[in-house]
Amino acid sequence: MDQVLVTCPPMLGLMDEFYPVFEQYGIKGVAADVLQTLSEDELIAALPDYAGWIIGDDPATARVFKAGKKGKLRAAVKWGVGVDNVDFEACKSLDIPIINTPGVFGREVADVAMAYVLGLARDTYAIDRAVRSENAWPKPRGVSTWNKTAAVIGFGDIGRQTARRLLACDMHVRVYDPFYKPVAGLDVEPVTWPEGLEDVDFLIFTAPLNDSTHHMFNHDILPRLKPGVRLVNVGRGPVVQETALLEGLRSGRIIAAALDVFEEEPLAADSPLRKFDHCIFGSHNGSNTVDAVRHVSQLAIKRLATFLTETKA
């Protein structure tokens, strides 16, 4: 029976449900011992023993795939939408069929983005921390959303769903995406990056990571920002240059940030970001709901099982 290595943390959290699904396809799922990602060396050591791999955010590099190909590896599936960590060209050259699971998680990640926007607007997270840890009863004066402008950077599934939620809060929504296409029912303003940032109140990054989005928020952008802007990133960490974000926070031009993703994950214990009490930090967990994980994991298993059947000698 073919064995499949699973290294995706959200899927691993429900693996007991998925073992029978693997068995229905005549394959055996094996859960990796991993918190966030395995290293290249760990993958090179482990992967040759498996016919298939369901990838999380691990470094799925050419070295890793070459090692797997020398062993039993015949196919892989990238769990979820983001593919910046996967060398698809290496898979093509090695004749390893691979695919991701596009078009999923938009609503789930958009829910987190909206929660972050409201949390930054009303200081709800800071209030909770003060009530719990300081026995305090704070009354910070927040800001309303109905008279604010939000910029959504990236207008894919997550961006569109985020815009829908922002519009429901009566915000004016600008969209930055070179491939923008209008969507019925979404009354947004398409703008070319970085034009028009001078009067944006909330910057919300939902963009994937690629050559054009890497560090698109950087030190050159800071002077363009409206003083007191709030920043949210639920896309990919390196889209926002951390040193620029820190400069903005220290100067006060950025009043606070909410980040589900970081340039390096997990967030280091000594990260200077931790010094900003009004920031909100996640754990790259925006897509992780029971409903979404079940749907995407079953889809990933099915697609990988199909590959393994097609490549069986």
Cα-Cα-Cα-Cα dihedral sign, residues 113, 115, 120, 126: negative
State the catalytic residue, choosing from 42, 122, 265, 295: 265
Kindly write down the DSSP assignment for every residue of the chain, as one continuous string.
-EEEEE--HHHHTTHHHHHHHHHHTTEEEEE---SS---HHHHHHHGGG-SEEEE-SS-B-HHHHHHHHHTT--EEEE-SS--TTB-HHHHHHTT--EEE--S-SHHHHHHHHHHHHHHHHHTHHHHHHHHHHS----------STT-EEEEE--SHHHHHHHHHHHHTT-EEEEE-TT----TT---EEE-TTTTGGG-SEEEE-PPPSTTTTT-B-TTTGGGSPTTEEEEE-S-GGGB-HHHHHHHHHHTSEEEEEES--SSSSPPTT-GGGG-TT-EE--S-TT--HHHHHHHHHHHHHHHHHHHHHH--
Q: How far apart are CA 284 and CA 9, in angstroms?
A: 10
Q: How far is CA 203 from CA 29, 51, 121, 153, 226, in A?
A: 40, 43, 12, 8, 10
Average pLDDT value for residue range 201-216: 97
Are both 2-102+289-311 and 106-281 of the same fold?
Answer: yes
The residues with which 203 forms a beta bridge, in sequence order, are 151, 231
The DSSP bridge pattern shows strands 229-233 and 202-205 to be: parallel
pTM to 2 decimal places: 0.90
Q: Which CATH superfamily is domain 106-281 in?
A: NAD(P)-binding Rossmann-like Domain (3.40.50.720)
Q: What is the pLDDT of residues 16-75, one digit of tens each?
A: 999 999 999 999 999 999 988 999 999 999 999 999 999 999 999 999 999 999 999 999
Question: Mean of the per-residue pLDDT values for the chain?
Answer: 97
Average pLDDT value for residue range 76-93: 96
Residues 6+ apart with CB under 8 A from 63: 40, 44
State the catalytic residue, choosing from 74, 230, 284, 303: 284
For the question of residue 284 being annotated catalytic, the response is yes
Average pLDDT value for residue range 92-99: 98
Angle at CA 250, nearest 5°, toward 201 and 246?
Answer: 80
Instruction: Tell me whether the omega of the peptide bond preceding residue 194 falls within 30 degrees of 0, making it cis.
Output: yes
Domain 2-102+289-311, classified CATH 3.40.50.720, yes or no: yes
The domain limits of the chain are 2-102+289-311, 106-281
Q: What is the pLDDT of residues 151-187, one digit of tens each?
A: 999 999 999 999 999 999 999 999 999 999 999 999 9
Q: How far apart are CA 217 and CA 104, in angstroms?
A: 25
For the question of residue 236 being annotated catalytic, the response is yes
Q: How far apart are CA 1 and CA 151, in angstroms?
A: 50
Q: What is the pLDDT of residues 239-286, one digit of tens each?
A: 999 999 999 999 999 999 999 999 999 999 999 999 999 999 999 999
pLDDT for the residue numbered 308: 97
pLDDT for the residue numbered 313: 66
State the catalytic residue, choosing from 164, 165, 236, 303: 236
